[in-house]
Amino acid sequence: MRIRGYIDSYTEPAAAAPNGRPFSQSPPVPGSLQYWKSENNALPSGTAKYDLTNGIGFPMRNIFYYVRDAGNSTRATADANWPDPATLLIGNVNYFTRGRNLWNSLLSRYYGFAAVGATIPGVDTAGGRENGVYPVWLTSDMTSHPGDELRFKYLDTQVNTLVRLTGSFGGTTTFFALTNWLATPSKNRYALIAGG
């Protein structure tokens, strides 16, 4: 999976707009940090679970789950091993249960993997989804597109919050979870909303 990062900087603005309206002289929640960290584990064929460890205790923006085939270490052959359905538990709450086709349909719709001409782009091709990658995005407040966020839908977690993906895997896999979370200097999740 490839992630491209682009800097989003803050420069000291003029004191006010030409109409006299004052500009904020500091960015929202200065000193906040955004983290991306990957973890993995071997999972057997059949019913299995994966408990997330990275980012627990912080507001989460994204979780990218992906699998590699244990035999050849590729995502291409592991795609068919993804649980159908998969269940995401947050604490004791069933956050969702999704079949593979539904999840892929949501990816197509929300990430813009739309038909080009009369065809839908193939998997692992330009404009198509990636084999074996199943994201959970919590960054779509303004529209349905991931990244159109106001920071309202982040997943609030406490130190011992259980974030568990369960399902029946079609083969032995190496299971990965790439987690994206935020830490504010005050450790106050709501400062992210008020500061925006």
Q: Splitting the chain (196 residues) into consecutive groups of 10 residues, what average pLDDT does each group show? A: 71 80 76 91 95 94 94 88 95 94 86 65 76 91 78 87 96 95 81 61
For residues 145 and 159, give the distance between their C-alpha atoms in angstroms, rounded to a whole number.
29
Q: State the pTM of this model.
A: 0.81
- For 41, phi then psi, to 5°, come to -160, 150
Please return the burial class of 8, using the count of CB atoms within 10 Å of its CB with bins 0-12, 13-18 and 19+: exposed
Torsion of CA 125, 71, 165, 145, to 10 degrees: -10
Alpha helices in 120-194 (DSSP H): 191-194
Token digits of residue 40: 């993995």
